Chains A and B, each alone.
Chain A
Amino acid sequence: GAVVSQHPSWVICKSGTSVKIECRSLDFQATTMFWYRQFPKQSLMLMATSNEGSKATYEQGVEKDKFLINHASLTLSTLTVTSAHPEDSSFYICSADGGGRTYEQYFGPGTRLTVT
């Protein structure tokens, strides 16, 4: 099956610093990747849709200048949390489309961000 990886799996950073999270499709090419955020005991909330070679589409209420998304290749999308604050602490999950007419999005294992 298709595999999506995320790096790092967890990160602790100080308030005011920036953190980059990578999402890679390991054995397939993904034109579209999605970034979700999940707070404890809550559901997944879509933050943005990332398309290779073009600007990401952000969901309403998500600050595009704070959450920078770059989808530079068909196998890599990155999410950079700029000037992180404690309220940005969350579980960030990416997913990737299968590259064909499949119905499934393939999810990465997630990245747990803690901002101190």
Chain B
Amino acid sequence: AQKITQTQPGMFVQEKEAVTLDCTYDTSDQSYGLFWYKQPSSGEMIFLIYQGSYDEQNATEGRYSLNFQKARKSANLVISASQLGDSAMYFCAMREGDTGWNTDKLIFGTGTRLQVFP
């Protein structure tokens, strides 16, 4: 079964508009972390935002915010005021386990290709 599900293979948004990229996850762990990464055509993985399972407030980083709904197991990424440079693949990922925040493997979703048009 998929642990991270991104149901939108592609999304279009007009410049300066907001867009929401969906992500749902499946885990039985109480402690986990959710990440969003951006991958432009160059291939590098750019960290955008992180949400811990115990964080009560939604994470925000500049124009990025994470709409975390724990009961629904969803962690949607909201990009406000889209820019042409936001065109890229976006991956949702989850870290499970309690062995260490940064030594547990990441599980990635299939990604959403976002295209911003003028």
Contact = CB atoms under 8 A, between A and B. Distances in A.
Contacts of A43: 91, 108-111
Which bracket fits the contact residues of A? 20 to 34
Contacts of B111: 43
Nearest to B42: A109
A46 B102 contact: no
A91 B39 CA distance: 13
A32 interface: yes
Interface stretch (A15-23, A69-77, A80-88, A93-101): A93-101
Given A43-B110, A104-B50, A97 B103 contact: yes
Contact of B103 (A32, A46, A112): A32
Interface in A26-49: 31-32, 34, 38, 42-46, 49
Interface of B: 33, 35, 37, 42-45, 47, 50, 52, 91, 95, 100-103, 105-111
